[in-house]
Structure 1
Amino acid sequence: MITLYSYPGLFGVADNNGYGLKVYAWLKLAGIAFTHQHLLDASAAPRGQLPYIVDDGETIGDSDTIIAHLARKYRPAVDEGLTPSESDTNLLVSRLLDDLYWVMSYSRWKDERCWPAFIAAFRREHPALSEADLLKAKEFNAQRYHFQGIGRFAPEAAYARGLDDLRVLANLVPADGFVHGPKAGSVDCAIYGFVANIWFYDIDTPLKQFVAAHGNLIRHCTALHAIATVRSEQA
Protein backbone atom coordinates (compact mmCIF):
# COMPACT_ATOMS: atom_id res chain seq x y z
CA MET A 1 0.00 0.00 0.00
CA ILE A 2 1.19 3.49 -0.85
CA THR A 3 0.93 6.46 1.50
CA LEU A 4 1.59 9.95 0.17
CA TYR A 5 2.82 12.47 2.71
CA SER A 6 2.46 16.09 1.65
CA TYR A 7 1.55 19.55 2.86
CA PRO A 8 -2.02 20.47 3.83
CA GLY A 9 -4.60 21.32 1.22
CA LEU A 10 -5.80 24.88 0.73
CA PHE A 11 -8.31 26.72 -1.45
CA GLY A 12 -9.89 23.46 -2.62
CA VAL A 13 -6.72 21.75 -3.89
CA ALA A 14 -5.35 18.60 -2.29
CA ASP A 15 -1.95 20.13 -1.47
CA ASN A 16 -1.01 23.80 -1.29
CA ASN A 17 2.46 22.91 -2.60
CA GLY A 18 2.96 22.33 -6.33
CA TYR A 19 5.21 19.28 -5.94
CA GLY A 20 2.85 17.37 -3.67
CA LEU A 21 -0.13 18.23 -5.86
CA LYS A 22 1.81 17.00 -8.91
CA VAL A 23 2.32 13.58 -7.31
CA TYR A 24 -1.28 13.48 -6.08
CA ALA A 25 -2.63 14.24 -9.58
CA TRP A 26 -0.29 11.69 -11.17
CA LEU A 27 -1.45 8.94 -8.81
CA LYS A 28 -5.07 9.76 -9.60
CA LEU A 29 -4.39 9.85 -13.34
CA ALA A 30 -2.55 6.51 -13.13
CA GLY A 31 -5.38 4.93 -11.15
CA ILE A 32 -3.02 3.74 -8.39
CA ALA A 33 -4.62 3.38 -4.97
CA PHE A 34 -3.04 5.32 -2.13
CA THR A 35 -3.76 7.02 1.16
CA HIS A 36 -2.96 10.68 1.72
CA GLN A 37 -1.51 12.09 4.93
CA HIS A 38 -0.99 15.83 5.40
CA LEU A 39 1.99 17.25 7.28
CA LEU A 40 3.34 20.72 7.97
CA ASP A 41 6.58 19.66 9.65
CA ALA A 42 8.89 18.14 7.03
CA SER A 43 11.77 17.39 9.42
CA ALA A 44 11.21 13.62 9.25
CA ALA A 45 10.94 13.57 5.44
CA PRO A 46 13.82 12.49 3.18
CA ARG A 47 16.19 15.47 2.93
CA GLY A 48 13.66 17.39 5.04
CA GLN A 49 11.38 17.94 2.02
CA LEU A 50 7.80 17.07 1.16
CA PRO A 51 6.28 15.22 -0.59
CA TYR A 52 7.41 11.69 0.02
CA ILE A 53 5.77 8.29 -0.20
CA VAL A 54 6.04 5.04 1.71
CA ASP A 55 5.47 2.15 -0.69
CA ASP A 56 5.42 -1.30 0.93
CA GLY A 57 7.83 -0.05 3.59
CA GLU A 58 10.17 1.78 1.19
CA THR A 59 10.44 5.54 1.73
CA ILE A 60 10.98 7.67 -1.38
CA GLY A 61 11.29 11.46 -1.60
CA ASP A 62 11.40 14.03 -4.43
CA SER A 63 8.38 14.32 -6.70
CA ASP A 64 10.15 13.27 -9.91
CA THR A 65 11.86 10.33 -8.18
CA ILE A 66 8.53 9.27 -6.70
CA ILE A 67 6.82 9.28 -10.09
CA ALA A 68 9.73 7.44 -11.76
CA HIS A 69 9.60 4.75 -9.04
CA LEU A 70 5.83 4.34 -9.36
CA ALA A 71 6.01 4.21 -13.16
CA ARG A 72 8.65 1.45 -13.06
CA LYS A 73 6.87 -0.60 -10.42
CA TYR A 74 3.22 -0.31 -11.42
CA ARG A 75 3.57 0.41 -15.17
CA PRO A 76 0.45 2.54 -15.71
CA ALA A 77 -0.41 3.74 -19.21
CA VAL A 78 0.63 7.31 -18.38
CA ASP A 79 3.24 8.62 -20.86
CA GLU A 80 3.06 5.60 -23.16
CA GLY A 81 4.64 6.26 -26.52
CA LEU A 82 6.38 9.53 -25.76
CA THR A 83 9.04 10.47 -28.28
CA PRO A 84 12.54 11.44 -27.09
CA SER A 85 11.69 15.06 -27.90
CA GLU A 86 8.54 14.90 -25.79
CA SER A 87 10.47 13.37 -22.90
CA ASP A 88 12.97 16.22 -23.18
CA THR A 89 10.10 18.71 -23.06
CA ASN A 90 8.88 17.08 -19.85
CA LEU A 91 12.29 17.58 -18.26
CA LEU A 92 12.53 21.19 -19.41
CA VAL A 93 9.07 21.93 -17.98
CA SER A 94 10.03 20.27 -14.70
CA ARG A 95 13.08 22.52 -14.41
CA LEU A 96 11.05 25.62 -15.31
CA LEU A 97 8.53 24.73 -12.58
CA ASP A 98 11.40 24.56 -10.12
CA ASP A 99 11.89 28.27 -10.80
CA LEU A 100 8.17 29.09 -10.67
CA TYR A 101 7.91 27.32 -7.32
CA TRP A 102 10.04 29.93 -5.59
CA VAL A 103 7.99 32.84 -6.90
CA MET A 104 4.69 31.16 -6.06
CA SER A 105 5.92 30.39 -2.55
CA TYR A 106 7.29 33.94 -2.18
CA SER A 107 3.81 35.29 -2.98
CA ARG A 108 2.44 33.52 0.08
CA TRP A 109 5.08 33.62 2.77
CA LYS A 110 7.21 36.64 1.83
CA ASP A 111 5.02 39.26 0.14
CA GLU A 112 3.65 41.21 3.09
CA ARG A 113 0.76 42.44 0.97
CA CYS A 114 -0.53 38.86 0.61
CA TRP A 115 0.58 37.40 3.94
CA PRO A 116 -2.40 38.52 6.10
CA ALA A 117 -4.99 37.00 3.74
CA PHE A 118 -2.90 33.86 3.25
CA ILE A 119 -2.42 33.22 6.94
CA ALA A 120 -6.11 33.92 7.62
CA ALA A 121 -7.05 31.27 5.04
CA PHE A 122 -4.62 28.80 6.58
CA ARG A 123 -6.07 29.36 10.04
CA ARG A 124 -9.61 29.02 8.70
CA GLU A 125 -8.97 25.72 6.92
CA HIS A 126 -6.52 24.28 9.46
CA PRO A 127 -7.51 25.59 12.90
CA ALA A 128 -5.36 22.98 14.66
CA LEU A 129 -2.22 24.79 13.48
CA SER A 130 -0.95 27.19 16.11
CA GLU A 131 0.17 30.76 15.59
CA ALA A 132 3.67 29.65 16.62
CA ASP A 133 3.66 26.89 13.96
CA LEU A 134 2.75 29.33 11.20
CA LEU A 135 5.22 32.02 12.27
CA LYS A 136 7.95 29.39 12.50
CA ALA A 137 7.12 28.32 8.93
CA LYS A 138 7.24 31.96 7.80
CA GLU A 139 10.67 32.49 9.37
CA PHE A 140 11.96 29.20 7.92
CA ASN A 141 10.78 30.17 4.45
CA ALA A 142 12.36 33.62 4.74
CA GLN A 143 15.71 31.93 5.34
CA ARG A 144 15.20 29.59 2.37
CA TYR A 145 14.29 32.47 0.07
CA HIS A 146 17.36 34.43 1.13
CA PHE A 147 19.80 31.61 0.47
CA GLN A 148 18.08 30.56 -2.77
CA GLY A 149 18.13 34.17 -3.92
CA ILE A 150 14.48 35.05 -4.57
CA GLY A 151 14.23 36.57 -1.09
CA ARG A 152 16.71 39.27 -2.12
CA PHE A 153 14.38 40.47 -4.89
CA ALA A 154 11.84 43.26 -4.52
CA PRO A 155 8.30 41.90 -5.08
CA GLU A 156 7.98 43.31 -8.61
CA ALA A 157 11.30 41.77 -9.68
CA ALA A 158 10.41 38.44 -8.09
CA TYR A 159 7.04 38.36 -9.85
CA ALA A 160 8.70 39.22 -13.17
CA ARG A 161 10.58 35.91 -12.99
CA GLY A 162 7.38 33.98 -12.35
CA LEU A 163 5.55 35.78 -15.14
CA ASP A 164 8.29 34.78 -17.57
CA ASP A 165 7.82 31.15 -16.48
CA LEU A 166 4.05 31.36 -16.89
CA ARG A 167 4.48 32.91 -20.33
CA VAL A 168 6.40 29.84 -21.47
CA LEU A 169 3.67 27.57 -20.09
CA ALA A 170 0.97 29.63 -21.80
CA ASN A 171 2.79 29.15 -25.10
CA LEU A 172 3.16 25.40 -24.50
CA VAL A 173 -0.32 24.47 -23.29
CA PRO A 174 -2.71 23.99 -26.24
CA ALA A 175 -6.18 25.43 -26.54
CA ASP A 176 -7.59 21.88 -26.48
CA GLY A 177 -6.33 18.58 -25.17
CA PHE A 178 -3.06 18.29 -23.30
CA VAL A 179 0.61 19.04 -23.88
CA HIS A 180 1.37 15.88 -25.89
CA GLY A 181 -2.04 15.19 -27.37
CA PRO A 182 -5.57 14.17 -26.35
CA LYS A 183 -4.48 12.27 -23.22
CA ALA A 184 -3.07 13.86 -20.07
CA GLY A 185 0.40 12.80 -19.01
CA SER A 186 3.03 13.46 -16.38
CA VAL A 187 3.86 16.90 -17.73
CA ASP A 188 0.21 17.92 -17.43
CA CYS A 189 0.13 16.78 -13.80
CA ALA A 190 3.27 18.83 -13.14
CA ILE A 191 1.82 21.97 -14.73
CA TYR A 192 -1.46 21.46 -12.88
CA GLY A 193 0.34 21.19 -9.54
CA PHE A 194 1.61 24.74 -9.89
CA VAL A 195 -1.06 26.49 -11.95
CA ALA A 196 -3.80 25.16 -9.64
CA ASN A 197 -1.95 26.63 -6.69
CA ILE A 198 -2.08 29.98 -8.46
CA TRP A 199 -5.53 29.87 -10.08
CA PHE A 200 -7.45 28.50 -7.08
CA TYR A 201 -5.43 30.70 -4.71
CA ASP A 202 -8.12 33.07 -3.41
CA ILE A 203 -5.78 36.08 -3.26
CA ASP A 204 -5.02 38.40 -6.16
CA THR A 205 -1.37 38.32 -7.22
CA PRO A 206 0.39 39.17 -10.50
CA LEU A 207 0.69 35.40 -11.07
CA LYS A 208 -3.06 34.89 -10.74
CA GLN A 209 -3.75 37.89 -12.95
CA PHE A 210 -1.63 36.31 -15.67
CA VAL A 211 -3.42 32.96 -15.45
CA ALA A 212 -6.80 34.72 -15.46
CA ALA A 213 -5.87 36.36 -18.76
CA HIS A 214 -4.98 33.03 -20.45
CA GLY A 215 -7.96 30.81 -21.09
CA ASN A 216 -5.83 27.88 -22.21
CA LEU A 217 -4.12 27.73 -18.80
CA ILE A 218 -7.46 27.90 -17.00
CA ARG A 219 -8.97 25.20 -19.22
CA HIS A 220 -5.97 22.91 -18.76
CA CYS A 221 -5.95 23.45 -15.00
CA THR A 222 -9.66 22.82 -14.53
CA ALA A 223 -9.52 19.73 -16.78
CA LEU A 224 -6.81 18.17 -14.61
CA HIS A 225 -8.64 19.27 -11.47
CA ALA A 226 -11.79 17.51 -12.69
CA ILE A 227 -9.83 14.32 -13.47
CA ALA A 228 -8.33 14.24 -9.98
CA THR A 229 -11.63 15.07 -8.30
CA VAL A 230 -13.70 12.49 -10.21
CA ARG A 231 -11.13 9.75 -9.71
CA SER A 232 -10.86 10.68 -6.05
CA GLU A 233 -14.62 10.36 -5.58
CA GLN A 234 -14.60 6.99 -7.34
CA ALA A 235 -11.73 5.62 -5.21
Structure 2
Amino acid sequence: MIKLLTFPPAFGLFAASPFCVKAAYLLNMSGQKWEREDMLDPRKMPYGKLPAIRAGERLIADSDRIQTYLESEGADFNKGLSDLDKANARAFIRMSEEHLYFHLVLDRWADDAIWPKVRDVYFSQVPPGLRHVIAAGVRRKTLSGLHSQGLGRLSQEERLARIEPDIDAITMRLRHSHFLFGDQPTAADASVAPMLAAATASPGVTLMGRMIEGNEVLMAYIARVDESCG
Protein backbone atom coordinates (compact mmCIF):
# COMPACT_ATOMS: atom_id res chain seq x y z
CA MET A 1 0.00 0.00 0.00
CA ILE A 2 1.23 3.49 -0.83
CA LYS A 3 1.88 5.83 2.08
CA LEU A 4 1.35 9.54 1.53
CA LEU A 5 3.66 11.67 3.64
CA THR A 6 1.78 14.91 4.15
CA PHE A 7 1.33 17.88 6.42
CA PRO A 8 -1.47 17.38 8.97
CA PRO A 9 -4.99 18.74 8.48
CA ALA A 10 -5.15 22.52 8.91
CA PHE A 11 -7.56 25.39 8.34
CA GLY A 12 -10.38 22.88 7.80
CA LEU A 13 -8.58 21.21 4.87
CA PHE A 14 -6.89 17.85 4.30
CA ALA A 15 -3.57 19.68 4.74
CA ALA A 16 -2.27 23.23 4.88
CA SER A 17 -0.35 22.67 1.63
CA PRO A 18 -2.42 22.55 -1.57
CA PHE A 19 0.27 20.30 -3.04
CA CYS A 20 -0.47 17.68 -0.39
CA VAL A 21 -4.17 17.93 -1.24
CA LYS A 22 -3.27 17.58 -4.92
CA ALA A 23 -1.31 14.39 -4.17
CA ALA A 24 -4.26 12.94 -2.24
CA TYR A 25 -6.61 13.76 -5.11
CA LEU A 26 -4.27 12.11 -7.62
CA LEU A 27 -3.99 9.01 -5.47
CA ASN A 28 -7.78 8.76 -5.23
CA MET A 29 -8.17 9.32 -8.97
CA SER A 30 -5.58 6.61 -9.68
CA GLY A 31 -7.51 3.94 -7.79
CA GLN A 32 -4.42 2.99 -5.78
CA LYS A 33 -4.80 2.01 -2.16
CA TRP A 34 -3.05 4.41 0.15
CA GLU A 35 -2.88 5.77 3.66
CA ARG A 36 -1.62 9.03 5.09
CA GLU A 37 1.26 9.67 7.45
CA ASP A 38 1.30 13.17 8.91
CA MET A 39 4.47 15.11 9.63
CA LEU A 40 5.34 18.76 10.21
CA ASP A 41 9.09 18.75 9.61
CA PRO A 42 9.95 17.90 5.99
CA ARG A 43 13.66 18.68 6.21
CA LYS A 44 14.68 15.03 5.81
CA MET A 45 12.51 14.59 2.73
CA PRO A 46 13.95 14.84 -0.79
CA TYR A 47 13.93 18.54 -1.71
CA GLY A 48 13.12 19.31 1.94
CA LYS A 49 9.37 19.57 1.32
CA LEU A 50 6.10 17.64 1.18
CA PRO A 51 4.23 15.77 -0.20
CA ALA A 52 6.09 12.54 -0.80
CA ILE A 53 4.96 8.94 -1.14
CA ARG A 54 6.47 5.64 -0.11
CA ALA A 55 5.76 3.01 -2.73
CA GLY A 56 7.50 -0.22 -1.81
CA GLU A 57 11.19 0.61 -1.47
CA ARG A 58 10.85 3.94 -3.27
CA LEU A 59 10.46 7.39 -1.74
CA ILE A 60 9.01 9.74 -4.35
CA ALA A 61 8.81 13.44 -3.55
CA ASP A 62 7.08 16.36 -5.29
CA SER A 63 3.50 16.25 -6.57
CA ASP A 64 4.59 16.26 -10.23
CA ARG A 65 6.84 13.26 -9.70
CA ILE A 66 4.07 11.53 -7.75
CA GLN A 67 1.79 12.06 -10.75
CA THR A 68 4.44 10.66 -13.10
CA TYR A 69 4.84 7.58 -10.90
CA LEU A 70 1.10 6.95 -10.76
CA GLU A 71 0.89 7.31 -14.54
CA SER A 72 3.68 4.74 -14.89
CA GLU A 73 1.47 2.42 -12.85
CA GLY A 74 -1.42 2.84 -15.28
CA ALA A 75 -3.28 5.97 -14.12
CA ASP A 76 -4.60 8.27 -16.83
CA PHE A 77 -5.33 11.69 -15.39
CA ASN A 78 -6.14 13.26 -18.77
CA LYS A 79 -8.37 10.59 -20.24
CA GLY A 80 -10.24 11.75 -23.31
CA LEU A 81 -8.41 15.07 -23.63
CA SER A 82 -7.17 16.23 -27.02
CA ASP A 83 -3.56 17.28 -27.47
CA LEU A 84 -4.74 20.91 -27.42
CA ASP A 85 -6.63 20.38 -24.17
CA LYS A 86 -3.58 18.71 -22.64
CA ALA A 87 -1.47 21.72 -23.60
CA ASN A 88 -4.04 24.11 -22.14
CA ALA A 89 -4.31 21.98 -18.99
CA ARG A 90 -0.57 22.22 -18.51
CA ALA A 91 -0.81 26.00 -18.70
CA PHE A 92 -3.58 26.07 -16.08
CA ILE A 93 -1.51 23.89 -13.78
CA ARG A 94 1.50 26.17 -14.10
CA MET A 95 -0.66 29.26 -13.60
CA SER A 96 -1.95 27.73 -10.38
CA GLU A 97 1.30 26.33 -9.02
CA GLU A 98 3.78 28.98 -10.17
CA HIS A 99 1.66 32.11 -9.74
CA LEU A 100 -1.41 31.74 -7.51
CA TYR A 101 0.61 29.66 -5.06
CA PHE A 102 3.10 32.42 -4.34
CA HIS A 103 0.26 34.85 -3.68
CA LEU A 104 -1.09 32.29 -1.22
CA VAL A 105 2.29 32.12 0.52
CA LEU A 106 2.42 35.91 0.76
CA ASP A 107 -1.09 36.03 2.21
CA ARG A 108 -0.06 33.59 4.94
CA TRP A 109 3.50 34.72 5.69
CA ALA A 110 3.58 38.46 4.97
CA ASP A 111 0.39 39.74 6.60
CA ASP A 112 1.15 40.63 10.23
CA ALA A 113 -2.50 40.09 11.21
CA ILE A 114 -2.62 36.57 9.77
CA TRP A 115 0.92 35.38 10.43
CA PRO A 116 0.53 34.54 14.17
CA LYS A 117 -2.28 32.08 13.41
CA VAL A 118 -0.27 30.51 10.59
CA ARG A 119 2.87 30.37 12.74
CA ASP A 120 1.11 28.47 15.52
CA VAL A 121 -0.15 25.88 13.03
CA TYR A 122 3.05 25.47 11.02
CA PHE A 123 5.34 25.41 14.06
CA SER A 124 3.05 23.70 16.56
CA GLN A 125 5.66 21.05 17.39
CA VAL A 126 8.24 23.66 18.37
CA PRO A 127 8.21 24.42 22.15
CA PRO A 128 6.48 27.76 22.80
CA GLY A 129 9.65 29.29 24.19
CA LEU A 130 11.48 28.74 20.90
CA ARG A 131 8.57 28.95 18.49
CA HIS A 132 8.65 32.70 17.92
CA VAL A 133 12.41 32.79 17.36
CA ILE A 134 12.58 29.83 14.97
CA ALA A 135 9.44 30.84 13.09
CA ALA A 136 10.67 34.42 12.71
CA GLY A 137 13.87 33.19 11.08
CA VAL A 138 12.02 30.96 8.63
CA ARG A 139 9.60 33.80 7.90
CA ARG A 140 12.43 36.21 7.07
CA LYS A 141 13.97 33.67 4.70
CA THR A 142 10.62 32.97 3.01
CA LEU A 143 9.78 36.64 2.52
CA SER A 144 13.29 37.36 1.25
CA GLY A 145 12.83 34.67 -1.39
CA LEU A 146 9.48 36.13 -2.43
CA HIS A 147 11.04 39.58 -2.66
CA SER A 148 13.72 38.17 -4.97
CA GLN A 149 11.04 36.37 -6.98
CA GLY A 150 9.25 39.69 -7.45
CA LEU A 151 5.75 39.32 -6.04
CA GLY A 152 7.00 40.27 -2.58
CA ARG A 153 7.74 43.77 -3.88
CA LEU A 154 4.09 44.48 -4.75
CA SER A 155 1.34 46.00 -2.60
CA GLN A 156 -1.78 43.95 -1.89
CA GLU A 157 -3.70 45.99 -4.44
CA GLU A 158 -1.01 45.42 -7.07
CA ARG A 159 -1.02 41.71 -6.34
CA LEU A 160 -4.80 41.62 -6.65
CA ALA A 161 -4.50 43.10 -10.15
CA ARG A 162 -2.16 40.22 -11.02
CA ILE A 163 -4.51 37.60 -9.57
CA GLU A 164 -7.78 38.79 -11.10
CA PRO A 165 -7.05 37.75 -14.72
CA ASP A 166 -6.12 34.25 -13.52
CA ILE A 167 -9.37 33.95 -11.56
CA ASP A 168 -11.30 35.21 -14.58
CA ALA A 169 -9.62 32.63 -16.83
CA ILE A 170 -10.51 29.76 -14.49
CA THR A 171 -14.08 31.02 -14.14
CA MET A 172 -14.47 31.30 -17.93
CA ARG A 173 -13.38 27.69 -18.42
CA LEU A 174 -15.84 26.51 -15.79
CA ARG A 175 -18.79 28.27 -17.43
CA HIS A 176 -18.61 25.62 -20.15
CA SER A 177 -18.30 22.41 -18.10
CA HIS A 178 -18.38 20.95 -14.58
CA PHE A 179 -14.59 20.65 -14.50
CA LEU A 180 -11.85 22.53 -16.31
CA PHE A 181 -11.75 20.18 -19.29
CA GLY A 182 -15.05 18.38 -19.39
CA ASP A 183 -17.44 16.48 -17.18
CA GLN A 184 -14.76 14.44 -15.41
CA PRO A 185 -11.91 15.75 -13.23
CA THR A 186 -8.42 15.71 -14.72
CA ALA A 187 -4.92 16.49 -13.49
CA ALA A 188 -5.63 20.19 -13.92
CA ASP A 189 -8.50 20.04 -11.44
CA ALA A 190 -6.32 18.20 -8.92
CA SER A 191 -3.97 21.19 -9.04
CA VAL A 192 -6.24 24.21 -9.45
CA ALA A 193 -9.06 23.36 -7.03
CA PRO A 194 -6.80 22.80 -3.98
CA MET A 195 -5.08 26.13 -4.64
CA LEU A 196 -8.40 27.97 -4.72
CA ALA A 197 -9.60 26.13 -1.62
CA ALA A 198 -6.42 26.99 0.27
CA ALA A 199 -6.88 30.68 -0.53
CA THR A 200 -10.38 30.67 0.97
CA ALA A 201 -9.34 28.62 4.01
CA SER A 202 -6.35 30.69 5.10
CA PRO A 203 -6.96 32.31 8.50
CA GLY A 204 -7.99 35.95 8.47
CA VAL A 205 -9.25 38.01 5.56
CA THR A 206 -7.24 38.16 2.34
CA LEU A 207 -8.06 39.91 -0.91
CA MET A 208 -7.58 36.72 -2.93
CA GLY A 209 -9.72 34.73 -0.54
CA ARG A 210 -12.52 37.29 -0.70
CA MET A 211 -12.38 37.34 -4.50
CA ILE A 212 -12.78 33.56 -4.68
CA GLU A 213 -15.42 33.37 -1.95
CA GLY A 214 -17.50 35.93 -3.84
CA ASN A 215 -17.41 33.82 -7.01
CA GLU A 216 -20.24 31.27 -6.99
CA VAL A 217 -18.78 29.39 -9.96
CA LEU A 218 -15.47 28.83 -8.20
CA MET A 219 -16.96 27.92 -4.83
CA ALA A 220 -19.22 25.32 -6.45
CA TYR A 221 -16.23 24.02 -8.41
CA ILE A 222 -14.09 23.61 -5.27
CA ALA A 223 -16.85 21.58 -3.63
CA ARG A 224 -17.41 19.50 -6.78
CA VAL A 225 -13.73 18.56 -7.10
CA ASP A 226 -13.48 17.64 -3.44
CA GLU A 227 -16.60 15.48 -3.70
CA SER A 228 -15.26 13.72 -6.79
CA CYS A 229 -11.60 13.38 -5.81
CA GLY A 230 -11.45 13.76 -2.04
Shorter-chain TM-score bucket reads 0.7 to 0.9
Partner of 2:149: 148
Deviation of residue 106 (structure 1)?
0.5
Deviation of residue 127 (structure 1)?
4.6
Where structure 2 has 5 or more consecutive residues not aligned to the other structure, the ranges are none
- Change in Cα spacing, 1:45 to 1:68, as seen in structure 2 (3 Å) is same
Where structure 1 has 5 or more consecutive residues not aligned to the other structure, the ranges are 230-235
In the alignment, the residues of structure 2 paired with residue 187 and residue 7 of structure 1 have an alpha-carbon distance, to the nearest angstrom, of: 22
Partner of 1:232: none
Partner of 1:167: 168
- Change in Cα spacing, 1:19 to 1:168, as seen in structure 2 (3 Å) is same
Partner of 2:8: 8
8 Å CA contact 2:30–2:70 kept in 1: the answer is: no
Equivalent positions of 1:100-139 (< 5 A) are: 100-119=100-119, 122=121, 127-130=124-127, 131-132=131-132, 133-139=134-140
Partner of 2:196: 195
In the alignment, the residues of structure 2 paired with residue 127 and residue 115 of structure 1 have an alpha-carbon distance, to the nearest angstrom, of: 13
8 Å CA contact 2:100–2:163 kept in 1: the answer is: yes
Deviation per residue, 1:175-225 (Å, 9 max, x gap): 652112211111111111101101233422111111122111101101122
8 Å CA contact 1:111–1:155 kept in 2: the answer is: no
What's the % identity of the aligned pairs?
Answer: 21
Partner of 1:178: 179
8 Å CA contact 1:178–1:220 kept in 2: the answer is: yes
Partner of 1:79: 78
Q: Which runs of 4+ in 1 moved over 3 A?
A: 116-120, 126-130, 132-137
Deviation of residue 70 (structure 1)?
0.6
8 Å CA contact 1:188–1:224 kept in 2: the answer is: yes
Equivalent positions of 1:50-69 (< 5 A) are: 50-69=50-69
- Change in Cα spacing, 1:159 to 1:81, as seen in structure 2 (3 Å) is same
Partner of 2:90: 91
In the alignment, the residues of structure 2 paired with residue 228 and residue 135 of structure 1 have an alpha-carbon distance, to the nearest angstrom, of: 36
Partner of 1:227: 228
8 Å CA contact 1:6–1:38 kept in 2: the answer is: yes
CA RMSD of superposed structures (Å): 2.3
8 Å CA contact 1:6–1:51 kept in 2: the answer is: yes
8 Å CA contact 2:114–2:203 kept in 1: the answer is: no
In the alignment, the residues of structure 2 paired with residue 143 and residue 7 of structure 1 have an alpha-carbon distance, to the nearest angstrom, of: 23
Deviation of residue 228 (structure 1)?
4.2
In the alignment, the residues of structure 2 paired with residue 175 and residue 196 of structure 1 have an alpha-carbon distance, to the nearest angstrom, of: 21
Deviation of residue 104 (structure 1)?
0.6
Report the number of matched residues: 225
Deviation of residue 50 (structure 1)?
2.0
What amino acid maps onto 1:194 in structure 2? M
Deviation of residue 80 (structure 1)?
1.6
Deviation of residue 150 (structure 1)?
2.0
8 Å CA contact 1:162–1:207 kept in 2: the answer is: yes
8 Å CA contact 1:52–1:60 kept in 2: the answer is: yes
In the alignment, the residues of structure 2 paired with residue 5 and residue 211 of structure 1 have an alpha-carbon distance, to the nearest angstrom, of: 29
- Change in Cα spacing, 1:204 to 1:176, as seen in structure 2 (3 Å) is farther
Deviation of residue 61 (structure 1)?
2.1
8 Å CA contact 1:199–1:218 kept in 2: the answer is: no
**What SS does structure 1 have at the residue aligned with 2:37?**
strand
